Amino acid sequence: MHDLPQQLANGLILGALYGLVAIGYTMVYGIVQLINFAHGEIVMVGGFGALTAYLALPGGTTLWLALPLMLIAGILVSTLTAVAAERFAYRPLRSAPRLAPLITAIGLSILLQQLVFSFYPDAKKARVFPKIPGDPFEIGSVAIQRSDLFLIIAAPLCMIALGWFVTRTRSGRAMQATSQDPDTAKLMGIDTDRIIVLAFAIGAAFAAVAAVAYGLRSGQVDFRMGFILGLKAFTAAVLGGIGNIYGAMLGGVALGLAEALATGYIQHLPGMDLFGGGAWKDVWAFVLLIVVLLVRPQGLLGQRVADRA
Amino acid sequence: MRHRSAVVVSIAVIGALSLTACGSRDDKKSGDSGNAGGGTTVTIGVDAPLTGDLSALGLGIRNSVELAVKQANEKNEVPGVKFQIKALDDTAKPAPGQQNATQLVADKDVLGVVGPLNSSVAQSMQQIFNDANLVQISPANTGVALSQGEKWASGVKARPFKSYFRTATTDAVQGPFAADFLAKDAKKTKVFLIDDQKTYGAGLAATFKAQFIKNGGTIVNEEHVNPDDRDFAAVVTKVKSSGAEAVYYGGEYPAAGPLSLQLKDAGVNIPLMGGDGIQSGDFIKLNPKSQGDYATAVGLPVESLPTAAKFIADYKTAGYKDAYETYGGYSYDSAWAIIQGVKAVAAANGGKLPDGARAKVVEAVQKVSFEGVTGKVSFDEYGDTTNKQLTVYTVKDGKWAVEKSGTFNG
């Protein structure tokens, strides 16, 4: 167990990544009760947007200059994609039965994958993403990779900005009002269409930050990267209490820790040597989800929502 | 309760989707090529991953077969017979591979198939080809059971399918060859073993392990990962605290590249070694810190063989966009073995192809023997190549460089 601090750090970092993506699920769900299953692909297109910016820059540009530009490009691509998806795929179905936009979301997810697969040059295999060069930082027995520093800094900043936005700005409060009761909010003069677009856009911006973090971590992006990542983030959102933005972060961290610890230690429990290790980490992540849903169906921070229908 | 039911429905839907992997791969068919002139046309099928993670290797296979076919036509190798290829994409997955096999069997012009790349895909095809008496020669499968039966490890060898051949040697020699190298040449005593649980990766890791222990080495720990994983932080931490001197990875480069990179990024500066599945240019592209990593590959390096100089020059002249990669020479030889088989069958029948030519081609391929790109091409009683040479490569200055060649006699 002497590598426990390192595994905890791994879990926290991974959790921050899940949390960033989970925000997108939770915000959209909180306002329109739609599980946007195309959100993983919003992450993916953001990654390719950032990659494009990197490739467009002249060779030899330092990463410290390139990184902000990549972020901006990623956020632009993700946000535009999400806003377009809202406008053309979800809005026409807003009054349709709940299942219709869900199926549309899945269709959109496959469409986005295939578009990148077919039209982005060389996207048929993994594309190399830059990494932050240099040796890892060592704090005691814990080594932090330089590429992960980006995530360690970006995730809390994003959360603070979001918290400030939701509680302190007019648009943020309008968003809260819309999520509590869209009809009344509309009667009070809130442009709910604009608020919904805003929720999609914020989720997408976070997705792009996550995409850059993912690319830096693994040194590559590919057209399928959004699928499993989206699935995990959705799990994190449900785990934390879907609709609750702090829950999304908490759920992400819980999931990341569960994965890291399961990979690290379940193998060493008596009688469990067959079920531990890296190959089982997804299994344990979903076991955790099922357990939470059984014991606390509203998620860790979620509130029991009275049935409005 | 509409919120909760929406969540529950969503989980169910997405669960079902993830089981079917979401159909996220394209099923693009590659067009037929070669010229179909007068006389008989014989099609050589190709099955390989032409898209997706492993497409670098797959495209090398297709192009090399195409080159063989083009040259056979130019030389009029089999008088009165024009060859053409029909290349299908298996996306490195068994299910599409099986569909491709059915499709190739249904095409009466197909008298032989080169492929596939992956042992797990081959498993799904063998029965179909065997039932149709259609010869299949893989340039890349190294899973031992494919040719020697499930019980090969216990010494009971039995060939399950008489239509299956390969020009690549098996993991029964590749894993142990790597183990000998790490123990005797690189002087490593403690190895961390990781595999991706696929037919190829798990088999390779198992044969490596047995030989490494026999050499007096220690396997400090074992890990299994999923082939689609790209985040190995938790595994890297285990490697780091295990005190291993090297990592042996059974699997392919899309996961091996980031695994090796994340190891070195975390300050674990030990070499990663794998089989021919990681000996690709893309491994180095995905992994800027690959310097010093090792890989075994079957046969001698194509570049070092005098017989191969012409192949390399011809491949260059043909102007293919993709490199011939690890299996180019073996693919060329596989195609050429089929062409020789067809030639023998036609010659025995007065220059024309007889009815039921497929079964006769299988018999003829069993007897072929010629000097190919990769050395002598002939097959033993299991359909395995008689050429059991292997090479260890290491990454030097962004390229795979030959470290040691030899024959494993264990």
Question: What band does B23 get if pLDDT is binned at 50, 70 and 90?
Answer: very low
| B389-396 and B40-48 strand pairing | unpaired
Verify whether the Cβ–Cβ distance A3 to B237 is below 8 Å: yes
d(CA A274, nearest CA chain B) in Å: 10
- Rounded Cα distance between B13 and B2, Å, is 16
Residues A85/A216, Cβ–Cβ less than 8 Å = no
Q: Evaluate if residue A108 carries a pLDDT over 70.
A: yes
Q: Evaluate if residue B110 carries a pLDDT over 60.
A: yes
Verify whether the Cβ–Cβ distance A125 to B282 is below 8 Å: yes
| Residue B99 identity (one-letter amino acid) | Q
Verify whether the Cβ–Cβ distance B238 to A231 is below 8 Å: no
- DSSP assignment of B115-135: --S-HHHHHHHHHHHHHTT-E
Verify whether the Cβ–Cβ distance B233 to A125 is below 8 Å: no
The average confidence (pLDDT) of chain B is 89
What six digits make up the tokens of B281?
A: 């240019």
What local confidence, expressed as pLDDT, does residue B293 receive?
97
Average pLDDT over residues B298-305: 79
| B135-138 and B164-166 strand pairing | parallel
Closest CB to A220 among B237, B266, B286: B286
Interface predicted TM-score (ipTM)? 0.87
CA-nearest residue to A136 within chain B is: B266
% of chain B beyond a pLDDT of 70: 90
Q: Evaluate if residue B9 carries a pLDDT over 50.
A: yes
| B190-195 and B246-250 strand pairing | parallel
Residues B164/B130, Cβ–Cβ less than 8 Å = yes
- Rounded Cα distance between A224 and A231, Å, is 12
Closest CB to A278 among B7, B26, B234: B234
d(CA A37, nearest CA chain B) in Å: 8
Verify whether the Cβ–Cβ distance B53 to A277 is below 8 Å: no
pLDDT tens profile B311-329:
999 999 999 988 998 899 9
Which residues are CB-neighbours of B318 under 8 A, at least 6 positions away? B63, B66, B67, B70
CA-nearest residue to A230 within chain B is: B14
Average pLDDT over residues B376-389: 91
Q: Evaluate if residue A309 carries a pLDDT over 70.
A: no
Residue with tokens 């396997």: B219
Verify whether the Cβ–Cβ distance B197 to A279 is below 8 Å: yes
Low-confidence winner among A137-146, A204-213, B289-298 (lowest mean pLDDT): A137-146
Average pLDDT over residues B288-300: 91
What local confidence, expressed as pLDDT, does residue B35 receive?
41
- DSSP assignment of B348-401: HTTTSPPTTHHHHHHHHHHT--EEETTEEE-B-TTS-BS--EEEEEEEETTEEE
Residues of A in contact with B4 (CB under 8 A): 297
